[in-house]
Structures are given as structure tokens and as C-alpha cells.
Amino acid sequence: MRRALRALLVLLALLCPASAWADPQYRLLVLAIANKYHYEYIPIARDSLEHLARIHDFDLTFTNDPTKFEGDLRQYAAVMFLNTPGEELNAAQRQNFERYMQGGGNAIVVHRALIMPPDNWPWYEKLVGRSFVIHPMLQTGVVTTVDPRFPATFGLPQRWIWSDEFYVTSNPHGVRIETVLGVDETSYDPTRIWPGQVARPMGKDHPVAWFHRYEKGRVFVTTLGHNGEAYRDPQYLSHLMGGIYWAATGLGQGR
């Protein structure tokens, strides 16, 4: 009997890769809820993030269910709001997420997840670090690497041609952020917007990705990621993976 059991274990070891026996490095929760302007990205992003999870050996929970925020969030090294703002959470879920961050949890905020109605949840606005003002029409522009030592810029050129909605933001809460990527406003028209709306340039200091610390945790924010096809782009995924890696582990920053 023992010989048969040993033989079975040897056979399983030969058939299964070593990674199947190992615990993942960390767990990531991704909240992605479809909305009027962002829905086609979801299956693409899910497939790409699952692929990244397999490559980089982390566990991924991808959901459109905000009740996940009613459970024990401490099991996750980081929580990602993927084109899904905090207004999707009810009062109890918000409270639980606040406790998670106060206990050392970490967050990743992607594109539309920045956009919150004014005074809807000031705590979340401070977590993001900037408040959404408006965005011009989607255009091709030049994204610039501001912090080449941060993991979300590794593999990106100093000047990167990218097409997106280059969000205009403000800082009503006086939050200090560390800019990772900026956008060169001379490379597109920051005033090009729909009739009846007005968009003004931000000038030389126009961050489109940043990081900072909030409560007892780490926060990575990228305003890029409007187009669903972005989630198939190797450079964009490298940018996103760098932010995930830093938020989840706190590692990778050059000195």
C-alpha cells in the first residue's frame, strides 16, 4: 500500500509543474463593473490579467460583484478598481475598504476609477490623490517618463506615443503625489472637446500616472486605459504590471 502511494506521488510530481505545488506570491482583487462608456474592455482585461497572474505567480480574483468588499479584504495584497469608481460601493463596503487601507492594505486605481461625483466620498478622492475635472476627446499624444526608477515605467521609452483620454485633474485636498508618467500637451490639442464643454490645458505639469502612500498603504494610479484594445498592448500591460507589483509588494523602486 505504501509503495503504491509513493508511486502515485512520484507520478503526480512528474506530471504537475513545480508552480502547481507552490503558494502564489500574493493575491489581487480586481473590481470591474461595466458602465456606459467602459464595458468592452472587461473580457480583454480579464484575459490579459489572468495571463499576467500565471506569468508572475500571483492569485487573481476578477469580479463585478461589489459584495466582495464585505468580506475579509486582508487576504489581498492589493485591490484594483479597474474603470470602476468607488461610488459603486455602498456605505458598509466603503467602511470595510477604509479599514483595509488603515490596516496596511494597498490600492490600484485605473482610468475611469478616478471619477467620483464631488463630495460623494472625499476619503476615496484623497486615496486617488487627484480629482477629475474633465477630459478632451480621445487623441494620440506623447506620454513622457517622469520617474524611470519606478516599476510602472520599466520597459517604456522616454517618450511614448499613446492614444487615450488625457484626463485633466485638480488637487482640492492638497495631496502630495509622486508623478510616474506625464503627457506633453504640445503633442495633442488639450482644448479639443465636444460642443458646449470647455477643456483647458494643465501646462507642463500634467501627470497621467502617479503613486503615493495613503493611510498605512500604497496607492498606484494610472489615468491611461480607456480603449479596450489597450489591454492587449504589451507596453501598457507592462506599465500596469509594474504598478501592481509595487502596490502589492512595495518592491522594485530603483534608487
Reported as a single tens digit per residue, the pLDDT across 95-110 is: 999 999 999 999 999 9
Which pLDDT score, from 0 to 100, does residue 215 have?
98
Which pLDDT score, from 0 to 100, does residue 21 have?
52
Characterize the bridge pairing of strands 168-170 and 27-31: unpaired
How do residues 54-104 score in pLDDT, each as one tens digit?
Answer: 999 999 999 999 999 999 999 999 999 999 999 999 999 999 999 999 999
Residues 191-215 as b or e (16 or more Cβ within 10 Å = b) = eebeeeeebeebeeebbbbbbbebb
pLDDT beyond 50 at 11: no
Question: Is 0.85 surpassed by the pTM of this model?
Answer: yes
Characterize the bridge pairing of strands 59-63 and 27-31: parallel
Which pLDDT score, from 0 to 100, does residue 232 have?
97
How do residues 155-185 score in pLDDT, each as one tens digit?
Answer: 999 999 999 999 999 999 999 999 999 999 9
pLDDT beyond 70 at 214: yes
Which pLDDT score, from 0 to 100, does residue 35 have?
82
How do residues 34-57 score in pLDDT, each as one tens digit?
Answer: 987 777 899 999 999 999 999 999
- Per DSSP, the residues of 1-18 read -HHHHHHHHHHHHHHS-G
Which pLDDT score, from 0 to 100, does residue 38 have?
78
How far apart CA 227 and CA 74 sit, in angstroms, is 31
Which pLDDT score, from 0 to 100, does residue 15 have?
45
Residue 83 CA neighbour count, 13 Å, CB half: 25
| DSSP 8-state class, residue 77 | S
How far apart CA 172 and CA 199 sit, in angstroms, is 18
